[in-house]
């Protein structure tokens, strides 16, 4: 349903939000704690920092931090920032084949709305 990148990003943000240390955490620390590849973790964390979802700091004592100001971020925003086109297309590509609306698109759309609604409180 979600890409591996999106799943990892959600895990990373949740981990950073739980570990509200004054210190910044390195990608290596986060990857080790979550048991996910360090390279993927670093790339995802850099992307999240570029999109201002998490903060990054270079140098001694640097790393990544999930700021208090972002603790109300929606799951929808995270998913859309990491895979904006992925969930707007027909799940089965039937609309492209049959040149008309896929019979599953409305159901799929409702499913995503419910996920986003239920995920609203995930980070609070």
The DSSP element (H or E) to which 63 belongs, if any, is: strand 63-65
Per-residue tokens: 89: 């297309």
Whether the pLDDT of residue 121 is over 70: the answer is no
- The three-point CA angle 55-16-22 to 5° equals 70
Averaged pLDDT for residues 82-92: 57
pLDDT higher than 80, residue 41: yes
Q: What is the DSSP letter of 22?
A: S
Mean pLDDT value across residues 9-25: 84
Cα–Cα distance between 30 and 42 in angstroms, integer?
9
Which stretch of 48-52, 69-73, 101-105, 117-121 has the lowest confidence by average pLDDT? 117-121
Domains of the chain: 4-121 (1.10.10.10)
Q: Name the pTM for this structure.
A: 0.67
Contact 78, 16 (CB under 8 A): no
């Amino acid at each position: 349903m979600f890409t591996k990148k999106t799943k990892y990003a959600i895990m990373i943000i949740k981990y950073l939000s739980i570990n509200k240390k004054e210190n910044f955490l390195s990608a290596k620390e986060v990857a080790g704690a979550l048991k996910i590849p360090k390279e993927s973790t670093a790339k995802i964390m850099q992307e999240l920092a570029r999109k201002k979802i998490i903060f990054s700091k270079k140098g001694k004592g640097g790393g990544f931090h999930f700021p208090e100001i972002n603790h109300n971020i929606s799951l929808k925003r995270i998913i859309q920032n990491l895979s904006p086109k992925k969930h707007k297309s027909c799940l089965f590509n039937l609309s492209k084949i049959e040149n008309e609306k896929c019979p599953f698109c409305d159901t799929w759309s409702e499913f995503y709305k419910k996920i986003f609604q239920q995920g609203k409180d995930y980070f609070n």
